[in-house]
Amino acid sequence: MSELISNKIQQDPRYLQLASRRGRLAWTLSVLVCVIFYGFILMVAFTPDIITAPISATSVIPLGLPLGVAIILVCCVLTGIYVYQSNQVYDPLFEEIVRGASK
């Protein structure tokens, strides 16, 4: 990509809006993941009795195990949300912007 096309793309208001939307989504999902992970770590640190409690009266599985699995699954879902948005919304819009700048 030439420098001229690159400059046209960077000055396109649609590109600036796209970069803003993509950044907002990335930061929102990142903050959400951090809150989930650090929340779990804080629970381990400050309420170990809750994390180590069995999930039922007859179970030997601690509550922390399904919580940890749930955290991993939620993070996979959040990653999927970002990938879907990127592939379905942001990439086609970016290709349109590049085509317009190449003319």
Residue-range domain boundaries for the chain = 10-102
Q: Is the pLDDT of residue 1 over 70?
A: no
| Radius of gyration in angstroms for the set of CA atoms belonging to the chain, rounded to a whole number | 21
Give mean pLDDT, residues 7-15. Answer: 89
Quick one: pLDDT band at residue 34, thresholds 50, 70, 90? very high
Instruction: Supply angle C-alpha 82, 87, 103, rounded to 5.
Output: 130
Q: Where are the alpha helices (DSSP H) in the chain?
A: 3-11, 13-46, 48-51, 64-85, 91-102
Helix (H, G, I), strand (E, B), or coil: what is residue 62? strand
Q: Which of 5-19, 33-47, 70-84 has the lowest mean pLDDT?
A: 5-19
**DSSP-based three-state secondary structure for 59:** coil
Give the pLDDT confidence score for residue 5 in this predicted structure: 84
- At 23, list the tokens: 């950044």
The reported pTM is 0.83
DSSP letter assigned to residue 54 = B
Mean pLDDT of the chain: 93
Number of H helices, E strands in the chain: 5, 0
